[in-house]
Amino acid sequence: MAKQAAKFVVLPSMAKILITGGSGLLGHRLTQLLLERGDQVAHLGRKENLKSAVPCFRWDPNAGYLDEAAFVGVDHVIHLAGAGIADARWTSSRKKELINSRVLGTRLLAQSIAQLDNKPKSCIAASAVGYYGDVQNRLCTEDDAPGDDFLAEICVAWEKENQQLSTFLPLSIVRIGIVLSLEGGALPKMALPIRFFAGSVLGRGTQFMSWIHIDDLCRLFLHLLDHPEHTGIYNGVAPIPEQHQTVMRAIGRQLNRPVWLWVPGLALRLLLGEMASTVLTGQQVSNDKILQMGFKFQYGNIHSALKNLFQKP
């Protein structure tokens, strides 16, 4: 029997939340849960749609444009916007786009908030565990130095711009791990070959994946939203990092399929170029800091997370 959907506490008074990147995997699910608990939600996006149940105000970070009407009545900002890391091969122009989509958007957001007379009460911004680089043999905490690969470069630039927001309002930054959801992200791509009896371990298979169930990640954002006193940087990952081969075989068990192939790392690098690092490198990331502030996971191990996702009606 599938587990019941997570329950979310309704705030004593309704809040208005402005989300950048609201159409993405995390933004979409967060919007659903915020509306369910009685909050108002608006999005910032490339196309204006003010007549929708969730109005979308236009912004264009490349052109430096943001509709200031988006901030009217806003209590909190959730900043998620950024081009998809694995959506296209990492050419030099694509790498520039990946950085600019985060840096320019964050810079524009900070500049716009700085000019407001009535500023939001807090902001929660996204980053990623790619900040730590390829780390296999030690557990990374929020105090660790960044890595030296391209994913780390993106995160360092992103967080540097995000810190500008902290001069105007309380700021939390969540370094997000691999988000498990069947609605998008890595999991459907990992499960597809397994469904067709072509399940494969990529590279050495021992690279660690610091992962988190989509609903637990949303619950973390809601926790920070409700407790703006919790500022600073937090790792948004489940308690137990798992090796890639363990995750693939756990998916296989949910689908009643074997995972019996092995794809050498060299083949992936020839196929994907530098972007192969998104699946061949890994991190073991600690979540002690969010546990210490009182956050509790609903899906604390990979088997309960995958069981919930694959057995949902």
Instruction: Pull the structure tokens for residue 199.
Output: 């399940």
| pLDDT confidence tier of residue 13, bands split at 50, 70 and 90 | low
Strand partners, 176: 128, 236
What pLDDT is stored for residue 4 in this prediction? Answer: 44
What pLDDT is stored for residue 138 in this prediction? Answer: 87
d(CA 220, CA 290): 8
Give the chain's domains with CATH numbers: 16-310 (3.40.50.720)
273 to each of 10, 92, 101, 267, 270, how far by Cα in Å?
Answer: 46, 12, 21, 10, 6
47 to each of 5, 61, 91, how far by Cα in Å?
Answer: 32, 13, 27
| pLDDT confidence tier of residue 19, bands split at 50, 70 and 90 | very high
pLDDT tens digit string along 125-183? 999 999 999 987 789 999 999 999 999 999 999 999 999 999 999 999 999 999 999 99
pLDDT tens digit string along 81-104? 999 998 889 999 999 999 999 999
Question: Mapping DSSP to helix (H, G, I), strand (E, B) and coil, where does residue 124 land?
Answer: strand
- Cα–Cα nearest to 239, from 304, 143, 155, 144: 304
| pLDDT confidence tier of residue 313, bands split at 50, 70 and 90 | low
Q: Tell me which DSSP letter residue 8 carries.
A: -
Looking at per-residue pLDDT, the higher value among 298 and 137 belongs to 298
pLDDT (mean) for 3-11: 43
| CB-CB contact of 132 with 146 (8 Å) | yes
Per-residue burial over 157-167, b if 16 or more Cβ lie within 10 Å, else e, is bbbebbebbbe
Looking at per-residue pLDDT, the higher value among 108 and 275 belongs to 108
